[in-house]
Structure 1
Amino acid sequence: MPIFEYGQKEIDHLKRKDKKLGAAIDKIGMIQREITPDPFTALISSVVSQQISKKAAETVWNRLATLLGNLTPESITQVEVSAIQSCGMSERKARYISGIADAAKSGVIDFKLLDTLTDEEIIKNLSSLHGVGVWTAEMILIFSLCRPDVLSYKDLAICRGMMNLYGLKELPKETFERYRKRYSPYGSVASLYLWELSGETRGETRGQVQCFNSHDLKQRTCPSVSPSVCP
C-alpha cells in the first residue's frame, strides 16, 4: 500500500527547529500512514466515516462496495440517493455523496487536476461542496495528495497533541500559528507526530478521517479482504 513518504531531511528540520518535538520524534520513530492516491475516493470515504466509528465506517463502506462495484462518479450518479442511504447512512450524508459525484461528473470540480492547484485553492474548491468542510479538505491534502505542509487547527487531536507536548492548558490560535510556522515547510510530518502525542489512535478518534482505497471496492467479493484504513 502507498504511504505518506518523508525522510531524514524532514526529521532533521523539525528536530533543529523544535527540541521538544525532536525528542518525541526520537522516541516514536518513523511513522507509516497509508494514503489514498485518488482524491475522489478519499473524499467519498471521508464523508462515509464522518462522525461514526471505524468499525461502523467499514460496514457502511462494504455495503457501498456491494452496491456500486467500482467507486466512480458515474457509478454513484446511476443509483438513487435512497439506495446510497440504504448502505447505513443518513439521507443527508447520502445526498452529500451524490452531490460530490455530480460535481465530479459535470466537471464542476476536476479531481484529476486537483494536484495542479495550491493548497488554498484545493481547500476552497473542496469546501464549496455540501458536506465537506475545511478540515476534511485539509485531510485530503495530506492523505491523498501528500502535501508537505498541512497542520490543521480544526483537528482536535492535533491540538491535543500539541498541548500535551508543550504542557499547555489552552491553545489559542496565535500560539498554534507560532508552532505551525516553526514546523513549516514540513507541517504534515509534524501532524503525524502530534496525532501520536494526542494519546488517541488516528481513525478511531471522533472527527478523524478514514481513508479507504478504491481497490477495496474491486476486491469486495473476497471475504478475507477488509477495507484498508488510514491508521
Structure 2
Amino acid sequence: MENKTGKYIKYAIGEIILVVIGILIALQINNWNENRLNTIEEQTILKALKTEISENQITLTKDLQRHTNVLRLLTELSDYIEPEPKLISDKRLDSLMFSLGWLPSYNPKEGVLNSVISSGKISLIKNTELNSKLASWTSLMNEYNTALNWSEKDVFDLVLPYLQKKYPLKRALKYFITKNKSKSKFEFSQEALLSDMAFETIVAERIIDASDSLEAAKDLFDFQLQILELFEKELKE
C-alpha cells in the first residue's frame, strides 16, 4: 500500500507538472502570437504615418519658400522707407505692397496621427524616441499656427486699416488674383507713403511676423525630418 501510495503521489505530481508546462507553453504561444500581431499592426501604423508626414513635409517645403519670399520682399520694402525716399517703379512698389498682405498657410494632414493617438495605438510603437516625438508633434504644430495667426491678425488690424487711407490696394490685386486686369484710377503719393514713419512701423511689424513664421516653419520641418528618419530606421528593421 505504501508503494502504491508513493507511486500515485509521484504520478499526480507528474500530471500537475505536465499541466503546468502545458499552460506555460500555451501562454508562451499566445504571447508570441500577440506580439507578432502587434508587430504587424505597428508596421502598418508606421507606414501610414510615414506617408502622411511625408506628404506634409512636401507641403511645408513650399510654405518655407513662401515665407522666405515674403520676408525678402518686406525687407526690400523697408529699405525704401526713409525721410527722403528714392522713388521706384510703380510695378515694383505694387509687388512689394502685395507682400504686406501675403499670408502663407499650412494645412497638414492629421487623420492618421490623430487616430493613432486617440485610440491609444501609439503605445504599439516600440521605439520610445519616435513615440515621444509623435506625441510632441501637435505642440510644435500649435507653435507654428500661433505664428501664422499673429501674422493674420496684424494684416487685418494694422495693414488693411492703414492702406484704406494711404494706398489703393487694387493696384496690387493682380498679385492676389492672376486673372485681374483692372487698374485703380485713384492717384496716390509714393513719396508720402515711403516717408511715413507709421508705415515704416507697420512694415517692421510684418517683418517680425514673417521672421517668426519662417523660424517656426523651419523648426517644424526639422522635427518632421527627424520623425521620417526614425520611420526609415524602424521599417528597415
Q: TM-score range by the shorter chain?
A: under 0.3
- TM-score normalised by L of structure 2: 0.25
Larger radius of gyration: 2
Structure with greater helix percent = 2
Higher relative CO (CA 8 A, sep ≥ 6), structure 1 or 2? 2
